[in-house]
């Protein structure tokens, strides 16, 4: 009998919002406090409203614990959040969450985009997944794009 745990990618639920914030506040790169997120308009309530819209947010769950999440802006065609708990990095969770987001975006857009810090681990991660371009958007961030293949 195998005791190996399986990570499941599923749509996010309103009940996941506290864990989404736990993960977001724990990251090592692009770390922001809850107050800094709120200043950007990202609050528990705005995330809950987003999660309520079908096909906009996913979580990675293993043995009842959330390990990561991704979120999109369907209308804009952008992946605007993909984060994995530091203790779960390197297990393919970010790749799976990004894949779920890309599939939803490519269902409606031929080209999708995201913004990330130039020279960051995230930039390297997205480039390995086929994202390209390097249009500076200010504050050391780049806009990367990906075309439906």
User: Which of 24-38, 104-118, 120-134 has the least mean pLDDT?
Assistant: 24-38
Q: What is the predicted pLDDT for the residue at 145? A: 97
Residue 4 banded pLDDT, cuts 50, 70, 90: low
Residue-wise pLDDT for 62-108, tens only, equals 999 999 999 999 999 999 999 999 999 999 999 999 999 999 999 99
- Looking at the structure, give the CATH architecture of the domain made up of residues 8-147: 3-Layer(aba) Sandwich (3.40)
Query: Long-range CB contacts (< 8 A, 24+ apart) of 61-64?
Result: 61/7, 61/8, 61/10, 62/5, 62/6, 62/7, 62/8, 62/88, 63/5
Average pLDDT over residues 10-21: 97
Q: Any idea where the domains of the chain sit in the sequence?
A: 8-147
Q: What is the predicted pLDDT for the residue at 132? A: 95
């Amino acid at each position: 009998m195998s005791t190996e745990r399986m990570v499941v990618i599923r749509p996010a639920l309103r009940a996941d919002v506290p864990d989404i914030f736990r993960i977001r506040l724990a990251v090592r790169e692009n770390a922001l406090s809850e107050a800094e997120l709120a200043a950007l308009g990202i609050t528990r309530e705005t995330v809950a409203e987003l999660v309520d819209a079908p096909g906009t947010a996913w979580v990675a769950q293993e043995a009842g614990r959330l390990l990561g999440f991704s979120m999109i802006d369907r209308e804009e065609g952008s992946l605007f959040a993909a984060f994995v708990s530091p203790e779960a990095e390197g297990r393919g969770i970010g790749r799976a969450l990004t894949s779920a987001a890309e599939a939803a975006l490519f269902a409606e857009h031929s080209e999708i985009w995201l913004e990330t810090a130039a020279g960051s681990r995230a930039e390297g991660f997205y480039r390995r997944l086929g994202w390209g371009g390097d249009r500076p958007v200010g504050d050391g961030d780049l806009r990367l794009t990906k075309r439906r293949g």
